[in-house]
Amino acid sequence: MNLSKWYKTDVVGFHVGAANVVAVHSAEAVKEVLTNTDFDGRPDIYLAKMRDPREELTGIFFREGEVWKEQRWFVLRYLRDFGFGRRFSTLEMAINEINSDMIDLIRHGPKYEHEKVFVKPGGYRILLPYFLNPFSVNSLFHCIFNYRIPRSDEADLYKLVQMGIQFQRNSDDYGKLISIIPWIRHYFPNLSSYNTLMEANVFIYQFFAKMIDHQIETYEDGFERNFIDLYIKEMKKTELDGNNNSSFNREQFIMAIVDFTFPAFTAVGVQMSFLLQYFLLYPDVQKKIQTEIDDVVGNGRLPTLDDREQMHYTEATIREILRIETLVPSSVPHKALVDTELMGYKIPKDTVVIPSIYAYHYDKTIWGDAQIFRPERFLDEQGHLCLKKDVSLPFGAGKRLCAGETFARNMLFLMTTSLCQNFNVVLGPGDKLPNVADNICGLITTPKDCWIQLEERVQ
């Protein structure tokens, strides 16, 4: 952005190592990159390959071409049958049960040893940005595996959350040394974050490999228990057909599930952590949400997605935190698949293109007082949510739109309302107001580790 101001242009070209890079900062240019299929490629970076034990490019997130299209279509098509990306009453019931466990853990404190990592004995004091992620990913597991991990067995789940945040904080797609000059890992494994990243990669891969291998070992043809079995069925079909070039194989499957669940055990909890911090800075916002909950839901049950249509201010607040705290400020880098043009500039094939969603979300020509946390910007004169006013792009756009957008928005709503219905976020003894400018930048932006105080809400 500083280069953009210096050269008085919203499109800046430069070199990062051997790569030709273009960064764009205007609303028009950002939208063009996100929605033009010419820019749907992904750069070949070591950070993506090192996640696989064979150092091969697998999964969905960093793929392009036919494999990306085939895998993404299959996962999205069949996960919908289990509630991913659409309303599904069974999944919503499971999420509310999981949120009930979250409330119980806050209220009564840790019951198991592993819970003491994120919750102080006695309850009401939780560690951000970790605490909320086990509940988020357990909800997604119900969607993918058709079961949830019980609280007594969540020790590895808590470790998964820690390793996920560790990976997010110590990596990005283009700025770290290991992405620019990957051979540096051989000489400076600590300085390049290689050791830290590999510790996280090994645990994450083994966690999901164990779950998927158990599904493969217990699979019965013709009796599909969950989405995982549908993928296994496709794998076995390609084996019978003798298609050695198929993208449906165990290694690809493991990383595809890692990619689809990664936001659930990192990003959702991080976004919620920012919101809880903003409640300390803007206590009136929390009070308005609680008033809306009292009017629409009461206190005899937990909020549901059916309540959402009547909770305009709550929904506006969630949309505002997604805007003002953009988790992926420069998006995941795109790549020009062909020689093309952008805002009148010629962009050669294989150029890395970085759309600054942060710049878009802070563009004064769109948002006016962009630096201010103001949920009302998404409401009309009657106080109703006005979707026409929400032109934010926290999940990207186009064919690279985050596949988990619906799930994430649902989780943010249910978590926000469940917490606000039962608790107040307050300053604990010795606590200071958070400095939201003092964040950690990596693959996503995260707040620094901090303990936050909750208190029982008197209604």
Give the rounded percent of residues in the chain with a pLDDT score beyond 70.
Answer: 97
Residue 451 or residue 407, greater confidence: 451
pTM (2 d.p.):
0.94
Single-letter amino acid, residue 157 = L
Cα first-last separation, the chain: 47
Distances (CA, A) of 201 to 44, 175, 275: 18, 19, 28
Q: Where are the alpha helices (DSSP H) in 170-266?
A: 177-180, 194-217, 227-241, 250-261
Mean pLDDT (whole number) for 274-286: 97
Is the pLDDT assigned to residue 305 strictly greater than 80?
yes
Answer yes or no: are the C-beta atoms of 314 and 413 closer than 8 Å: yes
Single-letter amino acid, residue 216 = I
Sequence-separated (6 or more) residues with CB below 8 Å from residue 430 = none
Do domains 1-35+329-361 and 36-327+362-456 share one topology? The answer is no
Query: Looking at residue 221, what is its pLDDT?
Result: 86
Which range, 57-61, 67-71, 222-226, 410-414, has the best average confidence (pLDDT)? 410-414
Tell me the C-alpha distance between 311 and 320, whole Å: 15
- Judge residue 365's burial from the number of C-beta atoms within 10 Å of its C-beta, 0-12 exposed, 13-18 middle, 19 or more buried: exposed
Q: Other CB atoms closer than 10 Å to residue 49's CB: what's the count?
A: 15
Q: How confident is the model at residue 298 (pLDDT cuts 50, 70, 90)?
A: very high
Q: Kindly state the DSSP code that residue 368 receives in the 8-state scheme.
A: S
Element (H, E) at 441: strand 439-441
Q: How confident is the model at residue 83 (pLDDT cuts 50, 70, 90)?
A: low
Q: What is the mean pLDDT of the chain?
A: 91
Answer yes or no: are the C-beta atoms of 449 and 161 closer than 8 Å: no
Q: Kindly state the DSSP code that residue 40 receives in the 8-state scheme.
A: B
pLDDT digits (tens, 9 = 90+) for 406-444: 889 999 999 999 999 999 999 999 999 999 888 998 889
3-state secondary structure 149-162: CCHHHCHHHHHHHH
Tell me the C-alpha distance between 432 and 76, whole Å: 43
pLDDT digits (tens, 9 = 90+) for 307-333: 999 999 999 999 999 999 999 998 888
Query: Looking at residue 45, what is its pLDDT?
Result: 86
Mean pLDDT (whole number) for 239-262: 86
Q: How confident is the model at residue 77 (pLDDT cuts 50, 70, 90)?
A: confident
Closest of 171, 122, 208 to residue 453, by C-alpha: 122
Paired with 334 in beta bridges are 353
Answer yes or no: are the C-beta atoms of 440 and 170 closer than 8 Å: no
Is the pLDDT assigned to residue 50 strictly greater than 80?
yes
Tell me the C-alpha distance between 323 and 334, whole Å: 21
- Please list, residue by residue across 165-204, b when 16 or more beta carbons sit within 10 angstroms of its beta carbon and e when fewer do: bbbbbbbbbbebebbbebebbeeeeeebbbebbeebbebb
Is the pLDDT assigned to residue 256 strictly greater than 80?
yes
Domain segments of the chain as ranges:
1-35+329-361, 36-327+362-456
Sequence-separated (6 or more) residues with CB below 8 Å from residue 112 = 151, 152, 154, 155
Is the pLDDT assigned to residue 241 strictly greater than 90?
no
Q: How confident is the model at residue 458 (pLDDT cuts 50, 70, 90)?
A: confident
Is the pLDDT assigned to residue 174 strictly greater than 70?
no
Query: Looking at residue 87, what is its pLDDT?
Result: 67
Q: Would you say domain 36-327+362-456 falls under CATH 1.10.630.10?
A: yes
Sequence-separated (6 or more) residues with CB below 8 Å from residue 39 = 32, 33, 334, 335, 336, 337, 340, 342, 353
Query: Looking at residue 38, what is its pLDDT?
Result: 96
Answer yes or no: are the C-beta atoms of 452 and 425 closer than 8 Å: yes
Q: What is the CATH architecture of 1-35+329-361?
A: 2-Layer Sandwich (3.30)
Mean pLDDT (whole number) for 441-451: 93
Q: How confident is the model at residue 225 (pLDDT cuts 50, 70, 90)?
A: confident
Query: Looking at residue 114, what is its pLDDT?
Result: 96
Structure tokens at 456: 């029982």
